[in-house]
Amino acid sequence: MTNEKIALLDAGAQYGKVIDRRIRDLNVECDILSMDTNTTILQQYKGIIISGGPSSVYALNAPKYNKNVFDLGIPVLGICYGMQLMNYHFGGTVEKKARREDCQMQIQIKTDNLLFEGLTQTQDVLMSHGDSITVVADDFEIIAESTGIIAGVRNKEKKLYGVQFHPEVDLTKFGKKIVDNFLYKICKFSGNYTKESQLNSSVKYIQNMIGDKDVLVLVSGGVDSSVCAALLAKAINHSQIHALHINTGFMRLNESCQVEHDLKKLNLDLKVVDASDAFYNATTTIDGIKTDKLSEVVSPEIKRKIIGDCFMKVAEEEIKNLNLDMDKTFIAQGTLRPDLIESASGIVSSSAEVIKTHHNDSELVREKREKGMVVEPNKDLHKDEVRMVGKYLGLSDGLVWRQPFPGPGLAIRIICAHEPYMDKDFQETNAHLDEFVAKYNLNATLLPFKTVGVQGDSRTYNYAVGLSGKAPWSVLMNIAKEIPQYFHNINRVVYIFGQEYTKTISKITPTKLTHDAIVQLQRADDIVNKNLMKYNAMRKIAQAPVILFPVSFDKENKRRSIAIRLFITNDFMTGVPAVPGEDIPQECMDEITEEILRDSSISRVVYDLTPKPPGTVEWE
């Protein structure tokens, strides 16, 4: 007899855990398994979903899979790579096309099937693929299309369904309904997996891991680490919990004082350590080679690794100062599942492409985890779920709704560079961009540095492009979707406030993690957050990174500029930029821009127009 659970076979998708979260939102328990899970195990499940992934089904290094998976009599839903694999398995063809899709698209569906029952014929969905089905396998029929690209198939007799798009993410407007249809109309689940059972699982996990031993909880003051601390307080004796806040020197303006104030509400003893000097001068060893000091490094990956290792070394020293036995003391972190997915942690999937190195998932942390000494009670939760747990545990709105702030702090929101990034395609891309945006009476210019993005389930380090001129926000947002589709070396599009900019930028302002750069960003970040609070926009905005980047839009090339990314998302794996005048008042944006530019060391303010994908939330 099958369990009331569904199996998610992970082909290396960055959205794998989002699928899992969607399923759990619909009160069905989900297990993430490898693609080659044996038949005996698969037969225990009531349904199977095969995720997307970065590979091509016809490639020699494609993930190995259990070839019996489609013949078990169990309903299967293939998503993106999963659909292509299903089609390829039954003799259909899959090929790479000149046109790839990495944004929200409109598709046409057939509603006379259980998967799309109750939906309208036109749907907005998230596409993220380069390969496409070119010939449909025998006994399959097309149930969705996207301007000539096959977007959905089914084999009714075998209860096999495939979609090229991602129903698990918010950018697929009615994706939750599609997943619901698969779970309840096709798989016939009863829906007995509740939020209370998930919370109880987190508490039991803490109790089983820690027992009567000590635990050090590293708190930044954000919602993740605060909920982690609250769960610890619910699960074990307060005398076992030692809370530590480390000021890295890359905190927001007056952040450490605010952290100390907020944590007192949890009735936990908190020790605040100013380790800013240690971080500025920190180094680490990578592949046997010692790095430069953090204050001299420009590589975002090396910055993260230095910060992660220094963070753990400071924590270890503080454990000694607290007279705790390091070998017997657990470390608790607020790490979320998306953090582990984006760093391709083995906990999630060995097939996943690394999107970023998470500071809480450094080599030292992994060593501690391998010894069973790292406690991460939020590791199966996404941000919205963490907030729900926080409210359930009685945390204040001020704490629960605080804007997310990365552990490495402002260090990864300062784009460091010694020299401009101008690949051999720079001039040609600039010329083609001018032609592309001319029909909108806009100007475009490549910015000569790299930002991180995610395209086709893989990490990309590509150009950002700045638009200037006058156009409605809706037009600018649409252009930002179009540009990465046609220019695969671009993963981010911004709008340049102020006077129209018509020049080519070929120089940068050399930037490192110096005191002046940190102060520039602290001031701008404070202005953005205070105005979002003033205009009551915090609840609407899920994340609000403010970035200092090394471009001066004037002749001197001595100043830097500020980018603002106001991001709306529920799943924290995909999302869209907030639209000024709709999601936030235009007056709020005007005040923010005007106030930031009072700092004479700032050249311009730009607004990030990029959805995710192709641009990640953070720029590094």
Which pLDDT band, with edges at 50, 70 and 90, does 345 fall under?
very low
pLDDT at 310 over 70: yes
Average pLDDT, the chain: 89
**For position 129, what pLDDT does the model report?**
73
Residue 38 has pLDDT above 90, yes or no: yes
Cα of 410 vs its chain's centroid, Å:
17
Position 341 confidence tier, pLDDT thresholds 50, 70, 90:
low
318 contacts 243 by C-beta, under 8 angstroms? no
Tokens 């984006």 sit at which residue?
A: 342
Say how far apart CA 209 and CA 324 lie, in whole Å.
18
Q: What does the domain layout of the chain look like in residue ranges?
A: 5-186, 195-405, 426-608
What is the pLDDT, as a whole number, of residue 24?
Answer: 87
152 touches 162 (CB < 8 A)? yes
| Percent residues over pLDDT 90 in the chain | 65
Give the residue ranges of DSSP H helices in 418-572: 426-438, 473-486, 515-534
Q: What is the mean pLDDT of residues 190-196?
A: 83
Query: Which amino acid makes up residue 325?
Result: D
When pLDDT is cut at 50, 70 and 90, the band that residue 340 belongs to is: low
Residue-level pLDDT at 350: 47
Q: Please tell me which residue in 80, 187, 310, 416 is annotated as part of the active site.
A: 80
Angle (deg, nearest 10), helices 255-263 and 223-235 = 20
At 318, is the pLDDT very low, low, confident or very high (cuts 50, 70, 90)? confident
What does the pLDDT read at residue 396?
A: 79
pTM of the prediction?
0.69
pLDDT at 355 over 60: no
> What residues contact residue 74 under an 8 Å CB cut-off, 6+ apart?
2, 42, 43, 45, 46, 47, 48, 159
Query: What's residue 514's pLDDT?
Result: 94
- Same topology between domain 5-186 and domain 195-405: yes
195-405 CATH: 3.40.50.620
DSSP letter at 535? T
Q: Is the pLDDT of residue 344 over 50?
A: no
Q: For this structure, is 342 an active site residue?
A: no
Answer yes or no: is pLDDT of 435 > 70: yes
pLDDT score at 263: 74
Q: What is the pLDDT of residue 348?
A: 46
Of 129-143, 338-352, 583-597, where does mean pLDDT reach its minimum?
338-352
Arithmetic mean of pLDDT, 489-516: 96
- Could you tell me the two tokens for 339? 């953090």
257 catalytically annotated: no
Q: What span, in angstroms and rounded, lies between the C-alpha atoms of 98 and 86?
A: 22
Residue 42 confidence class, pLDDT cut points 50, 70, 90? very high
- Report how far residue 306's alpha carbon sits from residue 363's, in angstroms, rounded to the nearest whole number: 10
Q: Categorize the per-residue pLDDT at 388 as very low, low, confident or very high, splitting at 50, 70 and 90.
A: confident
Structure tokens, 390: 């926080």
Lowest mean pLDDT of 363-367, 497-501, 537-541, name the range: 363-367
**Alpha-carbon gap, residue 466 to 442, rounded angstroms:** 10
Predicted local distance difference test score (pLDDT) of residue 530? 93
Q: How many C-beta neighbours within 10 Å does residue 95 have?
A: 13
The span from the CA of 102 to the CA of 490, in Å, is 12
Predicted pLDDT of residue 569: 87
* Cβ within 8 Å of residue 518, ≥6 positions away: 249, 250, 410, 414
Give pLDDT tens digits for 67-82. 999 999 999 999 999 9
Cα–Cα distance between 352 and 55 in angstroms, integer?
A: 10
Would you state the CATH architecture of domain 5-186?
3-Layer(aba) Sandwich (3.40)
Does 213 have pLDDT greater than 80? yes
Residue 64 is predicted with a pLDDT of: 94
Query: Looking at residue 342, what is its pLDDT?
Result: 53
pLDDT bracket for residue 360 (50, 70, 90): low
Active site annotation includes 367:
no
Catalytic residue among 168, 318, 376, 385: 168
Give dist(CA 404, CA 546) in Å, integer. 12
- Catalytic hit among 129, 166, 242, 358: 166
Once rounded to an integer, what is the mean pLDDT over residues 301-315? 90
Mean pLDDT of 616-620: 93
Please check the confidence at residue 552 and state whether its pLDDT lies above 90: yes
Distance between CA atoms of 42 and 5, rounded to whole angstroms? 11
- What does the pLDDT average to over 257-275? 82
